[in-house]
């Protein structure tokens, strides 16, 4: 499989007049759509004071990439899940943020040889989630459509079709929709309200995956909604520091609907291969016995303020822990670099309890040409 990818990268480089990079990759490119768990800097380029950004210390205090420790737009002390998925696929880190690729030529070059990240902190499956302060999923799909059109204008549809069929599409989104719903309803939600929410989320998810499929995506790795009721922000609202069971139950219900939806959708899109990663369950395992995984804290934020570090965002004035690798949570919402790495490893290699019906590695090894023939 790597020989096929290496050959495709060489052909793309030659046609585009570019110098190829490393070709020991499982896929030729990675395209990322999602929220702050995957964002690598798109929000830095959005206007407005209410946009969530990770462009100030102490974000990036352990960033291992070029330029050394610095804020990069990642909601992390270093790399995030997208970076580690990309590394497992043979890349140095996540592809760059779409909005950072200002020149048309740079966008095409990057999209062909690395991929692009459209993920945005605060984004939701619904356009109404955090409206005006992020790039919603529907807009991320539009940006990919524009990227694909630019690639086709450069190399033609045949080459781009082959590229996209071999590439890895990573999607991780949904937690913000659920958190906004809980906040808005304030425990007053009825079963019909929840059913309507799930219906809207799954309908939009269906449109997203179908649109990506129609544009050439064949290998799609999806991370389900996280354990949002156990983030430090949620725990800080409880007198005993306990998880918000209602939020977790809402997420678990959505994840069940997502699993059923994908199992039903795949046969209707010939050649679509997918892997559903259970980030919810992986985080449950970590916080149930953090010491077993080498963590000293699975409740408090390493960088934050107030109770459990969950009453304020990570800012230059925040308290910050010394041993970041000992914490599951970096700030009041997001994972540390080490926790993100552990999740990515589980999604990529297994065990089977965290991915279905394939691991991300098995998904990447699928041959795009074979999928296109189905």
Active-site residue set: 36, 331, 334
DSSP notation for 93-162: SPPPBGGG--SHHHHHHHHHHTEEE---TT--SSTTTTTTSS--HHHHHHHHHHHHHHHHHHH-HHHHHH
- DSSP β-ladder status, 219-223 and 168-172: parallel
Please state, in angstroms and rounded to a whole number, the distance separating the CA atoms of residues 16 and 282.
Answer: 41
Is the preceding omega at residue 351 within 30 degrees of 0, hence cis?
A: yes
C-alpha dihedral sign at 214, 215, 216, 218: negative
Instruction: Compute the CA torsion angle 301, 307, 311, 315 (nearest 10 deg).
Output: -50
Please state, in angstroms and rounded to a whole number, the distance separating the CA atoms of residues 257 and 198.
Answer: 7
Q: Are 99 and 17 in contact (CB under 8 A)?
A: no
- In whole angstroms, how far apart are CA 47 and each of 14, 94, 171, 371? 38, 23, 24, 40
Q: Are 8 and 29 in contact (CB under 8 A)?
A: no
DSSP 3-state assignment of 275? strand
Backbone angles phi, psi at 7, to 5 degrees: -65, -40
DSSP 3-state assignment of 230? helix
Q: Are 175 and 225 in contact (CB under 8 A)?
A: yes
21 secondary structure, DSSP code: -
Please state, in angstroms and rounded to a whole number, the distance separating the CA atoms of residues 278 and 290.
Answer: 18
């Amino acid at each position: 499989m790597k020989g096929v990818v290496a050959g495709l990268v060489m052909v793309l480089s030659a046609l585009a007049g570019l110098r190829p990079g490393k070709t020991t990759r499982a896929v030729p490119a990675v395209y990322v759509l999602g929220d702050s768990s995957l964002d690598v800097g798109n929000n830095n380029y959005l206007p407005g004071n209410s946009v969530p950004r990770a462009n100030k210390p102490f974000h990036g205090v352990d960033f291992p990439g070029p330029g050394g420790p610095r804020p990069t737009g990642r909601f992390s002390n270093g790399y995030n899940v997208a970076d580690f998925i990309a590394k497992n696929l043979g890349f140095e880190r996540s592809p760059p943020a779409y909005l950072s690729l200002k020149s048309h030529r740079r966008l095409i070059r990057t999209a062909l040889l690395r991929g692009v990240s459209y993920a945005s902190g605060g984004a939701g499956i619904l356009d109404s989630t955090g409206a005006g302060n992020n790039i919603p999923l529907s807009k991320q799909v539009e940006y990919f459509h524009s990227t694909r059109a630019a690639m086709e204008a450069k190399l033609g549809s045949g080459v781009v079709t082959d590229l996209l069929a071999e590439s890895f599409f990573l999607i991780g989104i949904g937690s913000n929709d659920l958190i906004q719903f809980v906040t808005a309803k304030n425990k007053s939600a009825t079963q019909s309200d929840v059913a309507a929410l799930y219906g809207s989320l799954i309908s939009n998810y269906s449109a997203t995956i179908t649109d990506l499929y129609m544009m050439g995506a064949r290998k799609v790795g999806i991370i389900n909604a996280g354990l949002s009721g156990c983030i430090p922000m949620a725990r800080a609202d409880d007198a005993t520091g306990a998880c918000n069971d209602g939020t977790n139950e809402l997420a678990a219900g959505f994840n069940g609907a997502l699993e059923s939806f994908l199992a039903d959708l795949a046969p209707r899109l010939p050649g679509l291969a997918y892997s559903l990663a259970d980030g919810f369950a992986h985080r449950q395992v970590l916080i149930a016995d953090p010491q077993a995984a080498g963590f000293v804290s699975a409740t408090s934020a390493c960088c934050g303020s107030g109770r459990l570090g969950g009453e304020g965002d990570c800012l230059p004035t925040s308290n910050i822990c010394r041993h970041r690798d000992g914490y599951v949570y970096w700030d009041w919402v997001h994972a540390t670099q080490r926790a993100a790495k552990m999740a990515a490893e589980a999604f990529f290699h297994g065990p089977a309890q965290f991915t279905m019906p394939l691991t991300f590695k098995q998904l990447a090894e699928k041959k795009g040409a074979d999928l296109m023939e189905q």
